[in-house]
Amino acid sequence: MPTMSPSTTVQPQQEPRPVLRDDLPDGPIIRLEDLERMALERNPTLAQADASIRVSQGRRRQAGLFPNPIIGYFAEEFVFRAPKETSEHGVFVEQTIPLGGKLSKAKRVFARETEQAESIAQTQRQRVINSVRMLYYDALGAQRLIDLRIELGNLTREAGEITNELYNVGQADRPDYLEIEIEIERAEIDLLRAKNDREEVWRSLGAMVGNPELRPARLVGNLEEGLAGFDQEELLSTLLRDSPEIRAAQAAVERARAVLVRARAERIPDLFLSGGLAYNYERFEPFVPALANQRKGAEMRLQAGINVPIFNRNQGGIAAAEAELAIAERELQRLQLLLRGRFAASFREYRNAVQMAEKYRTQVIPRARSGYEMYLSNFKQMAAAYPQVLIAQRTLFQVEVEYARALIQLHQSAVGLRGFLLTGGLEAVGRPGEFTEGFKLRAPNEATGDSDKP
């Protein structure tokens, strides 16, 4: 290499650059199980899903309650000029008795709705677990990328020291010196970016586990561990059989069937009963000699009747319930087809990640490292220029980064496949069917019959 003239000399840095280190504190060390437990305790969507179950249970209890009776007082033929001469005073009780098993059928509707709410809660729990695990591997990968950037920065720093020594003895020229200085700065910038990426991942992880104050910490785990293979057909069969989304859709179908049964029962009229006791101040007529001029006294009244389903036989309600059952059945079919498509795409990503990670691990990285070490050795012996070392170094760390990202993708794809392809741990929780207009579930303090009493 040519010796630089004094007029073009650039003074090297006198103090060596400090060794790059991660600023992550030594403790605490967090495991995946710790993050999952934190999410199950604090994620608000899980509390919402549990509350939806209680809502359905309350609806079920309410739907099975017997209608309340009506108790009242009545006065008839009350004359203000002579209130105790012709008036009749009494108390009455009215009761509507639902027939056709309406109450039990209504309870069955909300029993199916409770099952649907439980499946939705299970779905949300799996969403949260999957999201935490994916963010965990994101954080683990971010930590690995920081370690790679630190290693690259320190290697670049060592190369800078060697260049300084060569420069001082006239064995390195100005371009070599300037290029290594630029490379050192670039390595430090890349490290700052990697730390910012880790900070972003941990903020997302803190939001997912319901702890916004969570800060980056050392994670227990290794991206190269736990990479078991999958059987595609078995995994697809398990997905279509055990997916909580499928179970929720099946529960929705059963609920729609129960609604249809309840709507058909609405055609059966309810029994209306009314009875009461009264005191009649009216006097007997004179043509009854034995009772002439005596008050009629205590009386009893009794009414019984039913609504006659002549015009309204709940035709529209039944038609609507039949249509909603058809919608629920088609929704189940749609979901099954959708899961097949999502599974195909996810398994393709998983297979690509497996093949890519294996290629990098067994072939690409060993060759890149071998080439870099050869150029670095030659550079230290002044048998190679630094640009050659730089190219080999960049290639090595680029494939190391690509390998780490392939491992992250591999683990996240595996999480999705094991977790029924569910993601979105902070998305709004779906709720079971609120109400189907095939029939009307009346409040227990309302009469079940029509408003016009017989």
Q: How far apart are CA 68 and CA 74, in angstroms?
A: 19
Predicted confidence (pLDDT) per residue in 97-106, tens digit: 999 999 999 9
Cα–Cα dist 345/240, whole Å: 15
Question: 162-195: per-residue pLDDT in tens?
Answer: 777 777 777 667 777 788 888 889 989 999 999 9
**298 pairs with which residues across the strands?**
279
Q: Give the strand pairing for 271-283 and 88-97.
A: antiparallel
Mean pLDDT value of segment 269-294: 81
Q: Is residue 414 scored above 70 in pLDDT?
A: yes
Structure-block tokens of residue 275: 């009875």
Q: Would you say 93 and 69 are in contact if contact means Cβ atoms under 8 Å apart? A: yes
| pLDDT for 37 beyond 70 | yes
Residue 292, pLDDT score? 63
Read off the pLDDT band of 294 (50, 70, 90). confident
Q: Dump pLDDT digits (tens) for 330-344.
A: 999 999 999 999 999
CA 441 – CA 108 distance, rounded (Å): 12
Q: CB within 8 A of 152, min separation 6: which ones?
A: 187, 190, 393, 397
User: Contact, 65 vs 96, CB < 8 A?
Assistant: no
CA 180 – CA 160 distance, rounded (Å): 6
Beta-bridge mates of residue 105: none
The answer, yes or no, to whether residue 135 has pLDDT greater than 50, is yes
The residues, ordered by sequence, that sit 6+ positions from 355 with a Cβ below 8 Å of its Cβ are: none
- Please indicate whether residue 440 or residue 312 has the higher confidence score (pLDDT): 312
pLDDT at residue number 423: 94
User: For residue 252, what are its two tokens?
Assistant: 């929705």
